[in-house]
Amino acid sequence: WTVYSAYTLYCNYLEARTLGVPIRIIPIDHLNKLWLLVDKQVVALVRRLPGVLGNNNFTRFNYRGWHEDDGLRAHDEMGEAFVLCTPSRNWLYLADPDALINMYRRGKDFPRWVEITKMLDVFGGPTIATASGEEWRRIRKISNSALNEQCNAIVWSESAALGEAMSNYWASQGVFTSVGEDSRTVTLHVLSKACFGQSLPFEGHHGRASDTSASASFRFSLLTIMENALLILALTPSFFTNRWLPMPAAWRKLGEACDAFRGHMRQLYQRELRVLEEKKLTPGEESLEKKRDYTLMAALVRASQERPDEKDEEDRRFANLTEAEIYGNMFVFAFAGHDTTAHLLTYAVFFLAANPTIQTWVADEIQQVLGTRPRSEWDYHADFPRLKRCLAILYETLRVKTPVCEVKWTEDRAQQLRVAGQMLTVPPQTLMIPSYLYVHKHARYWGSDAMEWQPERWIATRGAVNEAGGLGEGGLHAGNNGGYHRRARPHVVEDEKDESADISQEGEEEVLLPPPSRGNYLGWSEGARDCPGKRFSHVEWAAFLAAMFRDWKVEPQQLPGETFAESRTRVLDFVEKDTDYGGLLLQLMHPEKVPLVWSRR
């Protein structure tokens, strides 16, 4: 194995040299399955060795998430492109926003490396996340039409209800430590409603123990599967449902959950078929279809029943999804939309706890838009578009803590790509890695406060935008050192807890600014294969924040003798130190370690 690895490493090195960019050699591929289990522990041990033995390319680059620790250093040292050469493949890291956007737009030349997402097909496939070429275009078209405004309206009301329930729960606790877990619960429940039409009541951390008896319930199966998604992806559901294999009780339960989840999907599928059948038999009548909520499942089943003869030539290619594809895609939607939003929400709660002035700033907007109206009177179409500061918080959190890392590649053909003025010929089979941290956080693009969490940078008044010559690269954008800079930026001073945000331009319409360039903001990806759930996540987020921060506020629980400024620094330090890749996404690993206080505003 060692000789073979040395040989392939040498071959990859020769190929990497043809690129003409700096190369760093590492002995083990980042995605080597065995290495994934022990990489950080081994690297931490080797780092203890003296001198160059403990400080070299291996200890710097050879573990997952190295770039979070390295920050801007690698590209500052090596320029906008460099290669990590491994025995398996060459990884080309790119930090030139123009090259990146060019790469995203040339989806055929630089497709997604689906080898890494293939494991998502555990409940059937191919799925939107794993298919390529014509097959992907067919599934994507159907998915895009399913993720429509009807779906978003449901997301809005369900998220608001769950955000309110979560706030009430935290208030009942006073001091709470369950923000990570509760955020995962609410995002999963929103997906449950939007995908399957199942409205699940919020249950906080302490209410969950009693839940386990209902092992066949939908909530149990969905929750168990999502909590153990990585195990399921690695070993597949059939491993856990195999009765002949000896395994721990918890794994057996996982098998039961997989079976129950499949059973629920089958039931829902059959129900949708019956609804469609009934509609055909009694067209025009008040059908079952009208009596129940829109769901993504129903939309996909409907698409699967489209008759090719009812469509024109162009659409015929796109029609129909098989039953297995529907199950697979439903799982992928639930998987892709769950932890992404949940981890960002957890980050945002911590950032807001450390920034009371921003809380007041966003609460002002929510109060202006929603007044004192009860939640039942909130209106998706009228209220959501006005919650721009809420979205600014999402944009900023996603800028500084980008959870999803994408991998594109050149497949079996060499491709030309201009990077920082130099035309590169990228060899076949090269993996292309966008350096999010660099394009999202470099002062060159985002100003001197690029490293700080400052949601106001995304907001400006309409007047300021007009004055600056419009929105975008030539005019005002989120990198102009703070969009809301036309008033004094809220800042925290020693022991200041709740400085009122000065909305001096109250009444003037605010706009959400674009990033400095499209290649400088890749949180939802770009090009044809960007995130189809982007609008879904916007709506969900705005409703959560509206329900959480109109009437409530969050603070760090202060330690004895600690000033507010000290507790703020402690929280922000914790956020940096506790950030890591747990499983596939960047997240706070132990949010329960820092207690927060939830109280009325």
Chain positions contacting ligand HEM, by CB under 6 A: 112, 128-129, 140, 332-333, 336-337, 340-341, 344, 398, 403-404, 406, 523-525, 529, 531-533, 536-537
CB 59 within 8 A of CB 43: yes
Q: How far is the CB of 142 from ligand HEM (least distance, A)?
A: 11
Of 129 and 363, CB closest to ligand HEM: 129
Of 398 and 465, CB closest to ligand HEM: 398
Of 195 and 594, CB closest to ligand HEM: 195
Of 237 and 533, CB closest to ligand HEM: 533
Q: How far apart are CA 255 and CA 250, in angstroms?
A: 9
Of 337 and 514, CB closest to ligand HEM: 337
Of 16 and 296, CB closest to ligand HEM: 296
Provide the residue count of the chain.
601
> Environment class of residue 110 by beta-carbon count within 10 Å: exposed (0-12), middle (13-18) or buried (19+)?
buried
- Reading the block at residue 209, the tokens are 């123990």
Q: How far is the CB of 136 from ligand HEM (least distance, A)?
A: 6
Taking the CB of residue 164, how many other CB atoms lie within 10 A of it? Answer: 21
Q: How far is the CB of 267 from ligand HEM (least distance, A)?
A: 21
Q: How far is the CB of 333 from ligand HEM (least distance, A)?
A: 5
Please choose, from the candidates 406, 471, 479, the residue with its C-alpha nearest in 3D space to the C-alpha of residue 440: 479
DSSP code, position 21: S
Of 16 and 539, CB closest to ligand HEM: 539
Q: How far is the CB of 497 from ligand HEM (least distance, A)?
A: 29
Q: How far is the CB of 296 from ligand HEM (least distance, A)?
A: 8
> Environment class of residue 326 by beta-carbon count within 10 Å: exposed (0-12), middle (13-18) or buried (19+)?
buried
Q: How far apart are CA 67 and CA 72, in angstroms?
A: 8
Q: How far is the CB of 530 from ligand HEM (least distance, A)?
A: 7
CB 389 within 8 A of CB 369: no
Please choose, from the candidates 433, 439, 581, 594, the residue with its C-alpha nearest in 3D space to the C-alpha of residue 69: 581
Of 16 and 297, CB closest to ligand HEM: 297
Q: How far is the CB of 336 from ligand HEM (least distance, A)?
A: 4
Q: How far is the CB of 382 from ligand HEM (least distance, A)?
A: 23
Q: How far is the CB of 134 from ligand HEM (least distance, A)?
A: 13
What's the count of helices (H) and strands (E) in the chain, helices before strands? Answer: 26, 14
Determine the distance from the C-alpha atom of residue 297 to the mean position of all C-alpha atoms in its chain, rounded to a whole number.
Answer: 21
In the bound complex, which residue of the shown chain has the CB atom lying closest to ligand HEM?
533
Write the CB contacts of 384 (distance below 8 Å, at least 6 apart in sequence): 156, 539, 542, 543
**Which DSSP string corresponds to 28-76?**
S-TT-HHHHHHHHHHHHHHTTSSHHHHSSHHHHHSSTTHHHHHTTHHHH
Taking the CB of residue 215, how many other CB atoms lie within 10 A of it? Answer: 13
Of 327 and 536, CB closest to ligand HEM: 536
